[in-house]
Structure 1
Amino acid sequence: MTRNVNIRSDWRDGDVERIVDLHRRGYEQEGAHYGADFLGHVRHTVEEADIPARPGSRVWFAELDGETVGCAAVVDRGDTGQLRWVVLTPETRGLGLGGKLLDAAMMHAKAQDWSSIYLETTDGLEASMALYRKLGFEMEIAEDRPLWHGGGRFLQMRRTL
């Protein structure tokens, strides 16, 4: 059966909720610290980023047979960009959708004339870390600090464009 894949990059009403729900679905198997506090943190960061108001910012949604199953975004931080909200639902991992989302994000970042792009994450997400390393991101900061769920290991990675 052929599946209909669409990657869209226009911002629509309800996209904040879509991003939060994707994180709920994508992280629910990763442990209790990805519960309500995490989803509140995601909502806050999406609202703070104000994607439609920042010219270099953009979000991409992966849609499979009409259902939103993943996203990734680049947030314009002035002289650099930040890769944000990279997530796929568990049942769609391994279909190449994450690669499509990240390819679009990296192409967009390069087009902004930034010298680099960075991302922030936490430890314990080995599949994500492997993907980021494969894309050329290198560890810049790894330190214990307060996170949405209390203390944890904060990681910042950067890639030269």
Structure 2
Amino acid sequence: MGEPAIDVRLRAGELGAIIGQHGRLYRAEYGLDERFEAYVASGVAAAVLAPSWPETRFWLVRDGDRLLGSAAVCPAAEGVGQFRWFLLEPEVRGRGLGRRLLDDAVAHCRTAGYHRVFLWTIDLLRAAAALYRGAGFTETERRPPAAPWGVTTSEVRYDLVLR
């Protein structure tokens, strides 16, 4: 494998690949079932069909034609962005790519004039939570434990105030 590149242009079929990657990796690593993949698919579909879709920005990690990871920022409200679909294949983790994706997304939010960016994650993703906190995000909400995807977990919201 060469050095992965980060691109901001979605290629045909990559929305489906992002959804599939989430389903495959979250099942293998955390035991989440097919309902999680459907949850991701519904969020992607809602974003694509929203009037604000043209303002959505993606960062895609690739080695040639192979998709190795992704992140996105979608407009959520006036002056607010949502960081979404952040994932890296295991073989490229620990190389600074996750931090770079997050930093690029936050920089985009500042340039786009957002005053706040938030994200939702689950409490099982401890490494990601540490990355978010290291970038200045703070936990602002924690939902009661539930098992909507076959494994008991809590959804956690993190926010970053940009100005």
Query: TM-score w.r.t. structure 1 length?
Result: 0.87
Q: 8 Å contact 1:26–1:88 — kept in the other structure?
A: no
Kindly report which structure 2 residues correspond to 1:1-161, keeping only aligned pairs within 5 A, or say none: 3-32=2-31, 34-50=32-48, 54=52, 55-79=54-78, 80-144=80-144, 148-149=148-149, 152-161=153-162
Contact 2:34–2:149 (Cα < 8 Å) also in 1 = no
Gaps of 5+ in 1: none
**SS across alignment from 1:30:** helix
Q: Relative to structure 1, is the Cα distance of residues 59 and 53 closer, same or farther in structure 2, using a 3 angstrom cutoff? A: farther
Aligned length: 159
Runs of 4+ in 1 over 4 A off after TM superposition: none
Q: Any idea what the Cα deviations from partners look like across 1:15-46, whole Å, max 9, x if unmatched?
A: 221111221343233232x2211111111111
Tell me the secondary structure at the aligned position of residue 50 of structure 1.
helix
CA separation in 1, counterparts of 2:143 and 2:41? Answer: 24
Q: Tell me the CA shift for residue 152 of structure 1.
A: 3.7
Q: Which moved more, 1:50-59 or 1:38-47?
A: 50-59
From the two aligned structures, give the one with the greater strand fraction: 1
TM-score, reference length from structure 2: 0.87
CA contact (8 A) 1:3 1:64 kept: yes
Amino acid in the other structure paired with 1:31: Y
The one-letter code matched in structure 1 to 2:77 is G
SS for the counterpart of 2:142 is strand
Give the alignment's Cα RMSD to 1 decimal: 2.1
| 1:119–1:158 CA contact under 8 A, matched in 2 | yes
C-alpha distance 99-64 of structure 1, shift in aligned 2 (>3 A):
farther
The answer to whether the 8 A contact 1:25-1:89 is kept is no
